[in-house]
Chains A and B, each alone.
Chain A
Amino acid sequence: MLSLRRVSAGYGSFRALFDVSLEVAAGEAIGVVGPNGAGKSTLMRVISGMLRSSSGELVFEGRSLTRLPAHRIVEAGIAHVPEHRRLFAKLSVEENLRIGAFLPQARRHYAERSEWVYALFPRLLERRRQLAGTLSGGEQQMVAIGRALMSKPKLLLMDEPSAGLAPLVVEQVFNLVRLIREQGFTVLIVEQNLQQVLAIVDRAYLLEVGRIRLSGSAAELKDNAMIQQAYMGL
């Protein structure tokens, strides 16, 4: 569905990604894990078109994304749940969802899509009129995911859904991700929280200082001695 071939990117003269290649097949949940500063968010920004790659190729469903601006990539079917949620804090939950359906084809199906999102997260229906900025962290994450789902994406990019949340809420957020998976969405999730993310993805890539160090099934990575030592403290 999505493939990256030898993608490099950076900021000015600083290079954050070096020849990164990865594959996501339809229906899969893929994790990209790694420590702080490994380039995980940069990778997300490159896929969603917020940052241009300096070399390499991005292909989504047989179509090159390499030079497309962000709004075209959403149109192509990739939605991005940004790091730290980035909600429109001064707008209500409902307005946040409405603006998530900004593209013409999504706007036509606004009613059914929002109903679907509310059915998925009944909590949001209760808080529909509340300002998004006043919700709890977990609820905000629901809004962020809901907002991304409004465009009816084929692939959902999730950038550190657990960032800045309390451990108990992190648990809830991963349950949300599990829920999204069960709905049949293809998910690419970036996380620092290895243990949690390896429990919900099929395969994962380990990113270190801008390079893919390892890749394999979730089980393989979980059993990998190096990962256990460096990231799980086992």
Chain B
Amino acid sequence: MKDEVIRRLGPLLLAVLGLAFVPFVTSDYVLHIAIQILLWGFVYTAWSLMGKFGLVSLGHGAFLGIGAYASPLLWNYTGLTPWLGIPIGILLAVLLALIIGYPCFRLRVVGHYFALVTLALSQVALLTIVAARDITGGSLGMTPKAVGHSWYALQFPEKPYFYAIALVAWAFGLCIWHLVDLGKGRAALEAIAEDEGAAASIGINVMREKLRVTVTSAALTALGGSLLSQYFMYVNPDTLSGIAVSLQIVFAAIAGGMYSVFGPTAGGLFTIALPEILRISLGTNFVGAANTIYGALLVIFIIFMPRGIIGWVESRLAAAPAR
């Protein structure tokens, strides 16, 4: 067990150490992309906690949106520091996860039906934000009151600060991924994914196991959402909530590889850096070309690499003859 922990923490520590040097050698622009990759990678990792056990949620846009809106709203209207606003957002997301999860799991809503219920959830969240436009700014979005460099407000105009926060959050997310993977809940969730009835018949508390992983995933997603809004200093329902965001999360986690610890992060690299590169290289010459190529690549990935980019690399390494 101890060896296993070292074997797993090793690559993670190396990655964090390596990435810690990035701010010293690159421009703010690269850092801006890297922060997004880390924060979205964190969110995708949170989603994969459920996804890899067959709990395909299309509702993570809702959890992300709650996290993203809670702290700026509380900051702007009550002056409450994000240090409390973020936990409140997480709490609300957990509450929503329970409200959706409990009846779904009680009534055995699984597979496609679960995806549909959660899909509706993300759209309800989007519509709620838009409808409450007097408070949330509607589809125009909103900006937390800027106060310059402040730990109290969790606002940093300098990018390296947020890069460090993103890196810590990301590493934390991967640690949780490992904890779930090593925990006894994993066997239970795998059994549930294969056959819920059989799992219950050997003494697995199906409801508890499913709720636990759902709540964990929702809480981390809300945390990711709040960090994204703190970083951007701007929240918009279309970029941080709703079906499009939910689908982005699902696609990225699948394309990167939801069964591997670095898979969702690779998905982040793919969904953030690639469109960026295409946008720059193609410029405004072919409007829409970048999105088309991006979409086509996604389709190819999903068809030819069902276990994602990292899953594909892993199987290649495993298949290579040892010399």
* A, B in one complex: yes
Residues of A near any B CB (own CB < 8 A) = 48-50, 69-71, 74-75, 79-80, 82, 86-91, 95, 98-100, 102-103, 106-107, 147-148, 150-151
Summed over the interface, the residue pairs from A and B with CB atoms below 8 Å come to a total of 67
CB B152 to nearest CB in A, in angstroms, measures 45
Q: Which residues of A contact B203 (CB under 8 A)?
A: 70-71, 74-75, 102-103, 106, 151
Give the distance in Å from the alpha carbon of A148 to the alpha carbon of B195 in the complex.
15
Give the distance in Å from the alpha carbon of A69 to the alpha carbon of B200 in the complex.
9
Number of interface residues of B (CB under 8 A): 18
Give the distance in Å from the alpha carbon of A14 to the alpha carbon of B7 in the complex.
55
Whether B188 contacts A50 by the Cβ 8 Å rule is no
Give the distance in Å from the alpha carbon of A89 to the alpha carbon of B195 in the complex.
9
- Given A74-B203, A102-B187, CB of A50 within 8 Å of CB of B194: no
Considering only residues 165-208 of chain B, those with a C-beta below 8 Å from chain A are: 184, 187-188, 190-191, 194-195, 197-207
Q: Considering residues B198, B202, B207, which has the most beta carbons from chain A within 10 angstroms of its beta carbon?
A: B202
Whether B202 contacts A50 by the Cβ 8 Å rule is no
Whether A99 contacts B201 by the Cβ 8 Å rule is no
Q: Which residues of A contact B194 (CB under 8 A)?
A: 88-91
CB B1 to nearest CB in A, in angstroms, measures 14
Q: Which chain A residue shows the least CB distance to B202? A: A100
Q: Please pick, from B187, B197, B202, B207, the residue contacting A147 in the complex, using a CB distance under 8 A.
A: B202
8 additional contacts (CB under 8 A) given A48-B201, A50-B200, A69-B207: A71-B206, A80-B201, A82-B197, A86-B195, A86-B197, A86-B201, A88-B191, A102-B203
CB A50 to nearest CB in B, in angstroms, measures 6
Whether A74 contacts B190 by the Cβ 8 Å rule is no
Residues of B near any A CB (own CB < 8 A) = 184, 187-188, 190-191, 194-195, 197-207
Q: Which residues of B contact A151 (CB under 8 A)?
A: 202-203
Whether B201 contacts A70 by the Cβ 8 Å rule is yes
Q: Which chain B residue shows the least CB distance to A74? A: B203
CB B263 to nearest CB in A, in angstroms, measures 19
Q: Please pick, from A80, A88, A150, the residue contacting B195 in the complex, using a CB distance under 8 A.
A: A88
- Given A50-B200, A86-B195, CB of A91 within 8 Å of CB of B205: no
Q: Considering residues A70, A95, A98, A148, which has the most beta carbons from chain B within 10 angstroms of its beta carbon?
A: A70
Q: Please pick, from A50, A70, A74, A98, the residue contacting B187 in the complex, using a CB distance under 8 A.
A: A98
Q: Which residues of A contact B198 (CB under 8 A)?
A: 82, 86-88
Give the distance in Å from the alpha carbon of A82 to the alpha carbon of B200 in the complex.
11
CB A42 to nearest CB in B, in angstroms, measures 13
Give the distance in Å from the alpha carbon of A150 to the alpha carbon of B202 in the complex.
9
- Given A74-B202, A74-B203, CB of A99 within 8 Å of CB of B191: yes
Q: Which residues of B contact A89 (CB under 8 A)?
A: 194
Q: Please pick, from A50, A71, A87, A98, the residue contacting B204 in the complex, using a CB distance under 8 A.
A: A71
- Given A86-B198, A88-B198, CB of A71 within 8 Å of CB of B205: yes
Give the distance in Å from the alpha carbon of A88 to the alpha carbon of B187 in the complex.
11
Give the distance in Å from the alpha carbon of A125 to the alpha carbon of B203 in the complex.
24
Whether B191 contacts A50 by the Cβ 8 Å rule is no
- Given A89-B194, A99-B188, A102-B187, CB of A148 within 8 Å of CB of B202: yes
Q: Which residues of A contact B206 (CB under 8 A)?
A: 70-71
